[in-house]
Each structure stands twice: as C-alpha cells, then as structure tokens.
C-alpha cells in the first residue's frame, strides 16, 4: 500500500477500529466500503474477519480471514483467527492444515504451542 493510499483509508479505518466493539455493524459498513475501494488489503480484510469472529459469525468471517492469510501469510493473528473460525464451523482438518501451514512456514510460536497443548494435537507436527 502506498503512502497516498494509506492516507486515504486511515480516517475511516481509524474510526472503524475505534467503534468496532460498541458498534460492530457500523464498523463493518465502513470497512466494507474501504474493501470495495481498496481491495486486497490485509489490514481491511483482517479487520472485517475479526469483527465477524467477535460476533461469532463464522460463515461471514471465513472468506475474509482466508483472504487475509493469503495476502499476509506470516500473520499469526490472521492464521489463529482462521484456525478458530474453521474449527467453529466444524472444519477440523482444514483448521489443522492452516495451523501446520503457519508453523511450517514461521516456526512454532508460544500461542500455537499453547493451542496444541490444550488440544493435545502435537502429534500433527512429529
């Protein structure tokens, strides 16, 4: 993203971030407009996905989080969000595939290590 593009999106993005907890649907509206005008920006798709995740709207979160992981494959937050979304939708194999993708690419992080310990899924990485 260029400086000029960032300058154009910052006011709306900042407002969406500020209001997302108390007025998530209003924040989603702002972010959807930004996403139409500035497609393929992981900061925008990730925020949309995270709001849907907070609302436990797994189905709507899924495409935005998948997009964010493609656009920003090193983002642990995006990967973990996608993992939890897939798991909540009952796509356990796909969730583990995402976890393995992230860990193989970026290494085992404390967050993923904790998750695997809690799930007793460490055998996937042996």
pTM: 0.88
CA distance 41 to 46: 8
Residues of the chain above pLDDT 70, percent:
94
* Per-residue pLDDT tens over the stretch 80-116: 999 999 999 999 999 999 999 999 999 999 999 998 8
Q: Render 64-113 in DSSP notation, one character per residue.
A: HHHHHHHH-TT-HHHHHHHHHHHHHTT-HHHHHHHHHHHHHHH---HHHH
Q: Under CATH, to which class is 3-125 assigned?
A: mainly alpha
Q: Which residues of 18-53 are buried (b: 16+ CB within 10 A; e: fewer)?
A: eebeeebeebbebbeebbeebeebbbbbbbbbbbbb
């Amino acid at each position: 993203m260029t400086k000029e593009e960032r300058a154009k999106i910052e006011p709306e993005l900042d407002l969406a971030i500020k209001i997302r907890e108390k007025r998530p649907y209003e924040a989603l509206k702002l972010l959807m407009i930004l996403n139409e005008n500035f497609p393929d920006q992981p900061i925008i798709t990730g925020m949309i996905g995270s709001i849907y995740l907070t609302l436990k709207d797994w189905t709507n979160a899924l495409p935005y989080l998948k997009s964010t992981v493609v656009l920003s494959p090193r983002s642990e937050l995006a990967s973990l969000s996608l993992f939890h979304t897939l798991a909540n939708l009952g796509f356990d194999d796909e969730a583990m595939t995402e976890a393995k993708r992230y860990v193989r690419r970026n290494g085992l992080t404390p967050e993923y290590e904790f998750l695997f310990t809690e799930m007793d899924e460490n055998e996937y990485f042996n």
